[in-house]
A and B are shown apart, each in its own frame.
Chain A
Amino acid sequence: MTRFLLKKLFIFLGAMFSISSLTFFILKAIPGDPFVQAENLPEEVLKSLYAHYGLDKPIMVQYLQYLKGIITLDLGPSYVYQGRTVNQILRDGLPVSAILGIQSFFIAVLFGGLLGSFAAIKKNKWQESAIVIFTSILVSIPNFVLASLLQYFLAMKLHIFPIARFDSIMHTFLPTMTLSALPIAFISRLIRNSLLETYKKDYIQTAISKGLSPNKVFFYHTLKNSLIPVVAYLGPLLTYLITGSFVIEKVFAIPGMGMWMIQSILARDYTVIMGLTIFYSFVLLSLNLATDMACAFLDPRILLFDKKRDILNEPIV
């Protein structure tokens, strides 16, 4: 167990280091910077700007300062928005995005789990086909299309929910629905497939033939052993929630991190791009670490064979 953890931790640190170095050098390699592009500043002003942001120093010194900044959790100032730092942007944007993300996460797990278990219980009945068709359609609708459709029908035509902005709990309904649609479909498929797989196992047959009630067989024997693919899917799920938030926050005009990310990319605000990229990678990689541990807890055989990798290798259909 310790060896497994150490190995995973080592990979985590290595990935963090290479991501932060790569983003730094890639963004340094781009010709031009926001000050040159913005307006025709006189030579002296440019020079003092460079000196203020430490851009006149050699590149290795800048790199070391940048690494030191990451370790001390100071991600530096924004070049475009005067007087704002990346940390401030995180402090303002993160709670908003986190609320949406957490809501969508729980709704996706709850409804996905229910739909998937229902489909597995009703195997070969019309309910199963209905759920399969419904989830195929849900998987195929891009989130920005779904967002605009919901906005049009539920907000503009029926006036059930507010159209955009982020003021009250009512404002979170449409974004949450959009964001959780695809994960619901994925999780329900995963649960259904893995429940059906588990039902074929000998120990389930044993439990049934011993005369256990169907509920007991389902909750005590089948469900726990079917959860690993879902836990393994949590990493990709978080990635989806983050990239989905870029779109959702644009469509619904929500001032979260996704909106800042897109704005800073369009404005070529390099420090903000770097800071947010590193923050996102940190969140994702630490969740991956956590899911690795959860998988190992659910199925100790994973410690011997890297089974999670094979589960994820299966394209989910």
Chain B
Amino acid sequence: MNQLFKPLNKSDFLPLSFKTVSKNSYSFFNLRFKVGAFIFLLILLFAIFGPMFSGYTYDEINLESKNLPPSKEFIFGSDELGRDVFTRFCYGARISLSIGLIAAIIDLVIGVVYGAVAGFLGGKIEELMMRICDSLYAVPYLLYVILLTVIFSPGFVTILIALTITGWINMARIVRAEILKIKNQEFILAAITIGASKRRIIFNHLIPNVSTTVITTLMLSVSQAIFTEAFLSFLGLGIQAPVSSWGTMICDGISALYYYPWRLFFPAMAITLTILACNLIGESLKSSFKVI
């Protein structure tokens, strides 16, 4: 009875563009998005074009110019073996961004398909699939990653495997929860009624309708992956010398912090800004999707 006599809400009839709560929150979203995207693109440019202009390679050792402060010759200074910090910084950006993006995309593919299938099929299959998730989720994520780096030799591929082996679970759980919310709506019922196959419903109807949540989660898993790579490299379990990563650069920088602070400053700044950028983009997307 309550449902029948519910008063109509005026805002239901307004076109979509009027529904954004207020101009103020919209511009705040825009600012966050712009700042985040600007930082992200800047780091991306450094990663792609930086090594071309620096005139050094990341492992070029020059013992005559050790630990120089930033100057014209070495924009970001040089480290204890006379390597150019700027070049190593750009290679670090390559490693971080590629690990972040590749890991997030693999998580996305596995997680979305797994979550959507579990959510749509329901019943015993869903129960089983989610129990598998739960039991994998009970073990702390970083313990897995560390154990895996013990088994395989540390390096780029190992980090990637370690990140994706557990990373998709979060995505799968979120996608499943979203699917459960929409799978009883009329358009799905309509699709079933006209005889669409299960595969078509999942891939053409359900997954596109959870894309907002997926994109938000994707940005957060990028920042998670970038952090984990730097964390592992910092502990000496990730990217190995002579290849540079922000984590190893920070680890080296700390040991010479007192006399040569610039060796720590640039990679530390970079990783903080990159994670901040991903978070800002993710947050602004989330709040904008919530409004609509």
Contacts and interface: CB of A to CB of B under 8 A. Distances in A.
B237 A281 contact: no
Given A15-B135, A140-B279, A243-B140, 5 more contacts: A11-B138, A15-B139, A23-B147, A136-B280, A277-B143
Interface of B: 134-135, 138-143, 146-147, 149-151, 173-174, 177, 216-217, 220, 223, 227, 230-231, 234-237, 247, 250-251, 253-254, 257-258, 261, 264, 268, 271-273, 275-276, 279-280, 282-283, 286-287
Instruction: Tell me whether chain B's interface is mostly helix, strand or loop, or mixed.
Output: helix
A30 interface: yes
Interface residues of A, number: 47
A247 B231 contact: yes
B276 A137 contact: yes
Given A142-B231, A266-B236, A136 B283 contact: yes
B140 A156 contact: no
Given A140-B272, A151-B257, A315-B216, A14 B140 contact: no
Nearest to A277: B143
Contacts of B147: 23, 26-27, 273, 277
B178 to A, nearest CB: 9
9 smallest A-B Cβ distances: which pairs?
A140-B276, A145-B268, A140-B275, A15-B138, A243-B142, A239-B140, A148-B254, A317-B283, A313-B177
A50 interface: no
A284 B150 CA distance: 21
B151 A26 contact: yes
Contact of A239 (B141, B271, B283): B141
A66 to B, nearest CB: 16
A182 to B, nearest CB: 10
Contact of B237 (A27, A136, A142, A265): A265
A140 B36 CA distance: 12
A234 to B, nearest CB: 14
Given A14-B135, A277-B147, A144 B231 contact: yes
B275 A262 contact: no
